[in-house]
Structure 1
Amino acid sequence: MPVSPAHADATTPRLHVQRLTKRFGALVANDAVSLTVMPGELHCLLGENGAGKSTLSSCLYGLYRPDEGDIYVDGREMRFASPADAIAAGIGMVHQHFVLVPTFTVLENIIVGTGSGWRLPAAEARRKVEAICQRLSLSLDLDAEVGDLSVGQQQWVEIVKALYLGARLLILDEPTAVLTPQESALLFASLRKMLADGLSVILISHKMNEVLQADRVTVLRRGRVVGSVRTADSSRHELTTMMVGRALSIVDAGERSHGGGTILSVKNVSLRDARGVSLLRDVSLDFRAGEIVGLAGIAGNGQRELFEAICGLRPIDAGEITLDGQRLDSCNPHEIYRMGVGHVPEDRFKDGLVPDFSIAENLVLGDHREKPWRHGLTLDVGRLRQAANEAIKNFSIACNGAEAVVRRLSGGNAQKVILARELARASRVLLCNQPTRGLDVGVIEYVHRQILEKRDAGAAILLASEELEDLIAFCDRIAVIFRGEIMAVLPGRQADIAEIGRLMAGGTDARAADKGMSN
């Protein structure tokens, strides 16, 4: 485990940032940001999408050079020209999207780039890595190929690598986004051990239950620090208000409906990829009018394939999918959409948008051949602009107008364009795969209300989310998926997060829940 240098002590800040400013052209991403992190402190950076958290962490890790301001590590002023400089100064960073070589072993991934010439210090490195794992009570097979590990295990490889390189300050960017609740609890328990050894941690997270575990929270809004508080002296409401700039109302799902008749039915659906690998295994789920069914699972366990199978984007190998009693097997995606099915895909830029089209054009994708949007042989530009301006207002899309090109929008604003289009389309079925990922807290509030309005209007809704609290709060039933198989279907508000997490990791339902609940 890392040990602080001799010149540093408990009263010297591990990190002190003084009036750091970073510009991208006319955009001021960080505006005179000041931040102090002490040895052994878990310090959370909190802010909405675009608040400047990622830019600040990139400056601290040497990915960007600040235009103004000073960075001190253990009392020494630093100028980072690259991540190598930051690592040498004792700063490590675990990105939300891991930087690992799948065909390398765990040990090889940890030590790659650390040897001199072509020699890797394998024997010495193994002893050092094993000592780190032992201190953290971490079971990690150093000879396993990283590509064969779970996502949670891959994250530990990144963390251990940072510690192996001597990190005294560790930056974690949304570390639990791909973890089960149990894995998240293990991560925070291990973090406490690291903090006790003098490591400092900067946590970037939007999950309030994690934010409140930090010692201090610094809140960014529009590139500026609006406050830095001791977590023990604050509250969820106060931090959210600081982050958004206004008090948010709690979205109440209201009384649970018992659901109307079945609108969408998935029966014994299985499918494989081109190599014959099973992606969905005998999946059966019914979706009733006025009901929200949640889909819980670690990313990559079949969620995307299930959504695409329902939408006609991926042919199934067995089973059947029906909408209002009509088989969808021979229908193309456009025909399915015209039946009143809205689809919010997981990958917004790859599957949900045409990046070089305008906001107005993207809002009518799939419907652009329909009469309301046509003026003779061409699109009715005036009608398109009017509809786009209304969507921009309702969804708070930050842009330069309806003609703004979508690829120039932030990820969160691009997601709002998709939501505006698909919510309008979904008269019978709404399929939402991570609909609030990357969105500001205020817009999440709006999206939740829109989903509930669709439910109350009688639509059948399938909602996949990494936020288990949201699934429990809004869903009538929650289906847990693991390696393409539905492990169990649990009642919404009565679902237990620990039980969901165990099922997400492949465990069986301790209460032996009958899969027949899905019908």
Structure 2
Amino acid sequence: MEQCVSVELKKITKTFGSVIANEDVDLKVQSGEIHALLGENGAGKSTLMNMLSGIYNPDSGSIYIRGKRVQFKSPKESIECGIGMVHQHFKLVERFTAKENIIAGNKGKFFTKNKEVDQNILSLCDKYNLQIDLNKRVSEMSIAEKQMLEIIKVLYKGANILILDEPTAVLMPQEVGRLFNIVKRMKEQGCAVIIITHKLHEVMAICDKVSVLRKGKNIKTINIADTNINELTELMVGYKSDLKIDKVSSNKNALIYNVKNISVRNKLGVKVLNNISFNMNEGEILGVAGVAGSGQKELCEALFGLQKVESGNLLFKGEDITNKSPREVYKKGIKMGLIPEDRLGMGLVGSMGIVDNLLLRKYYDQKGLLLKRNELKDIATSMVEQLDIKTPDIDHPVKQLSGGNIQKILLGREISLSPDILITSYAVRGLDIGATYQIYDLLNKEKEKGVSILFVGEDLDVLLELCDRIMVLCDGELIGIVTAKDATKEQIGMMMAGHMEEAALDIKESRIEKVTSLKGGDLYD
């Protein structure tokens, strides 16, 4: 199929107040091409595509679609020009069926029993190897089904230029493979596909070209065949970086935290953790894998004392601390650190600076608050230097900093407590590559000291590299725990979907009992 230029952006600039999101960006994407838009958080990827999809208007520069200059005043005009964007956060009506979501907003009346409409949708699905139950409600769909519905929705509106914003962020490994097959099919049908991402391995696996954005500028556009991960990393961050996680060892390995058959209900009375049992050991990083909403948040809060345990026991070195508040636990001489999912809602007070946020966690260590504040200033200054936190000063309100800097402050504060146990929920979410690997190094240093670390993560490659063991949750159930060195992404993906028996077939014989005997029982290694 002969290729032509589907999208051309020339000298696109967009600012928000004093912040330059995009500056003189040039981009060219051909039909029948999968083009990655790669860059760190805040590099300007989504902003650039939001201008192409009509959400924003560029301050200057030109947009050409199939050689014709266009000026979109709304997303509707972009859609009419054949551009469809599947956002990271889906824009679906939960109580509508798949068919109702697909035809909503189209010209004509909202008739859902029209057989011709059904046939048109099914023909479209057949063309691109897509599968959907037209009568299934969105509220009953999995994440992967919702994403497929979003793709069908934009294709039904006539899109032949497709923008996917972080499409694999919430998918299991098997679902990523299916998505890639769909994208390849679109390429074969002559679509231009733009994938916004920061996952280098996926860029190398599926794309034809990649444009790297850094600080709002297009640093380079390059053919995938002519580059490698190391070069792309250097283009993203501006310096050479060895993207390798060293798995360190600790001379401490004693059992420190025993979680026995705990169940938890949320505020609505729904059981979100059911009969969960596992151990945490000194000098170990225990990973937690699972699709979003599998109970990770409630587990972290229950272990820390913020979530009431309905049944079961939490034992710290044999002492029962079930349903003890964080302060009660601290008064027993037990130090726990928590990196919650919600940084500003639970972790830090946004209107305060670093010093006062440190004070919140240390104010009952000693009585002299004035003396303590002076000491905390030194700790805050040291933290800023060590973690390369970008802030005007140590008393600047943390809510005015970037998400990555906020996360570094939160982790730095918890580490400064010299914890026995460190519970982290998505500790590197929102951080750029350099800061991310810096965090991994910090966690490894804590592990070497003998700290027991719970690491809730969403990147299976990182879980396998960083963690010693990985426990897998599915719908509030503990499916199993595997040793990281013996596990694969595919096996963990099957466990995340609840298929423990199939996953066990992929494990070495010496590990099968380990996986299949864990659900609902005491876990001793």
TM-score, normalised to structure 1, is 0.93
Q: 1:260 aligns with which of 219, 233, 253?
A: 253
1:464–1:198 CA distance, 2 compared to 1 (3 A)? same
Query: 1:122 deviation in Å?
Result: 4.7
What code does the residue aligned with 1:440 have? D
Q: Which amino acid aligns with 1:419?
A: L
Partner of 2:507: none
Q: Distance in 1 between matches of 2:275 and 2:482?
A: 18
Equivalent pair of 1:257/1:476 in contact (CA under 8 Å): no
Counterpart of 1:14 in 2: which secondary structure?
Answer: strand
Q: Is the 8 A contact 1:358 1:406 kept in 2?
A: yes
Matching residue of 1:508: 500
1:399 CA displacement: 2.7
Q: 2:10 aligns with which of 13, 18, 33?
A: 18
Q: Is the 8 A contact 2:354 2:380 kept in 1?
A: yes
Report SS of the residue matched to 2:292.
coil
Call closer, same or farther: CA 1:427–1:273 in 2, change over 3 Å: closer
Cα distance in 1 for residues equivalent to 2:223 and 2:308: 53
* Contact 2:162/2:192 (<8 A) preserved: yes
CA distance in 1, matches of 2:435, 2:143: 29
Distance 1:225 1:15 in 2: 15
* Match status 1:431 vs 2:423: yes
1:423 Cα offset (Å): 2.2
Q: Is the 8 Å Cα contact of residues 219 and 235 (structure 2) preserved in structure 1? A: yes
Find out whether 1:273 has 2:278 as its counterpart. no
For 1:47-66, list aligned pairs within 5 A. 47-66=39-58
The alignment partner of 1:518 has SS state of coil
Q: Out of 111-120 and 160-169, give the one that drifted further.
A: 111-120
Higher deviation after alignment, 13-22 or 272-281: 272-281
**Distance of aligned partners of 1:73 and 1:365 in 2 relative to their CA distance in 1, 3 Å threshold:** farther
Among all aligned residue pairs of Structure 1 and Structure 2, give the percentage whose two residues are the same amino acid. 38
Measure, in 2, the Cα distance between the counterparts of 1:167 and 1:246: 38
* Deviation digits for residues 53-101 of structure 1 (CA, Å, limit 9, x no counterpart): 1211111111111111001111111111121121111111111111111
Q: Which of the numbers 338, 344, 360 marks the counterpart of 2:339?
A: 344
Counterpart residue identity of residue 281, structure 1: N
The yes-or-no answer on 1:292 pairing with 2:285 is yes
CA–CA distance in structure 1, aligned partners of residues 179 and 252 of structure 2: 38
Residue 438 of structure 1 and its aligned partner are, at CA, apart by: 1.2
Aligned to 1:364: 359
Q: 2: CA distance between counterparts of 1:468 and 1:77? A: 42
What is the CA-CA distance between 1:194 and the residue it aligns to? 0.8
Aligned residue in 2 for 1:130: 122
Q: TM-score, normalised on structure 2?
A: 0.92
Once the two structures are TM-superposed, the CA of residue 114 in structure 1 deviates from its matched residue by 1.3
Per-residue deviation at 1:320? 0.6
Find the aligned partners of 2:450 and 2:284 in 1 and give their Cα distance: 8
- How far off its partner does 1:251 sit? 3.8
Provide closer, same or farther for how the CA distance between residues 88 and 23 of structure 1 changes in structure 2, counting only shifts above 3 A: same
The total of aligned residue pairs comes to: 508
Q: Give the aligned residue type for 1:364.
A: L
Tell me, in whole angstroms, the C-alpha distance in 2 between the residues paired with 1:215 and 1:373: 62
Q: 1:329, 1:343 → 2: CA distance?
A: 17
Q: Cα 1:506–1:254, aligned 2, differ >3 Å: closer, same or farther?
A: closer
CA 1:80 to 1:403, structure 2 compared with 1: closer, same or farther past 3 Å? farther
User: 2:246 matched to 1:241?
Assistant: no
1:185-204 CA-to-partner distances (Å, cap 9, x unmatched) read: 10001110011101111111
CA distance in 2, matches of 1:507, 1:253: 30
SS where residue 446 of structure 2 aligns?
helix
- 1:181 partnered with 2:173: yes
Corresponding letter in the other structure for 1:106: A
Q: 1:79 and 2:74 equivalent? A: no
How far apart are 1:336 and its partner, in Å?
A: 3.6
Q: Secondary structure at the match of 2:5?
A: coil
Per the TM alignment, residue 118 of structure 1 is displaced from its structure 2 partner at its CA by 5.7
Structure 2 residue 314 is matched with structure 1 residue 309: no
Question: What is the root-mean-square deviation of aligned Cα atoms in Å?
Answer: 2.1
How much does 1:35 deviate? 0.5
Structure 1 505/337 Cα, relative in aligned 2: closer, same or farther at 3 Å? Answer: farther
Give unmatched runs, 5+ long, in structure 2.
505-511
CA apart distance, 1:365:
3.0
Farther-moved stretch of structure 1 (125-134 vs 164-173): 125-134
Q: Does 1:332 align with 2:359?
A: no
Q: Is the 8 A contact 2:245 2:437 kept in 1?
A: no
> Per the alignment, do residues 400 and 153 of structure 1 end up closer, same or farther by CA in structure 2, a change over 3 Å counting?
same
Distance 1:86 1:120, change over 3 A: farther
- Is the aligned partner of 1:320 residue 2:325? no
- Inter-CA distance 116–419: structure 2 relative to 1 (3 Å threshold): same
CA distance 1:445–1:39, change in 2 (3 Å)? same
Partner Cα distance (1:464, 1:35) in 2: 37
Query: Residue 38 of structure 2 contacts residue 45 of structure 2 at CA under 8 Å; is this kept in 1?
Result: yes
Match of 1:230 in 2: 223
Q: Is the 8 A contact 1:295 1:303 kept in 2?
A: yes
In structure 2, C-alpha distance between the alignment counterparts of 1:210 and 1:193, rounded to whole Å:
17
Moved more, 87-96 or 383-392: 383-392
Distance 1:271 1:254, change over 3 A: closer
CA offset at residue 26 of structure 1?
A: 1.7
- 1:91-150 deviations in Å (ceiling 9; x for gaps): 111111111111111111121111436656854332222222223333321111101111
For 1:68-147, list aligned pairs within 5 A.
Answer: 68-116=60-108, 122-147=114-139
Match of 1:518 in 2: 523
- Conserved? CA contact 2:53–2:75, under 8 Å: yes
Give how far 1:340 is off.
1.5
CA distance in 2, matches of 1:426, 1:112: 55
| Cα distance between partner residues in 2 of 1:459 and 1:244 | 31
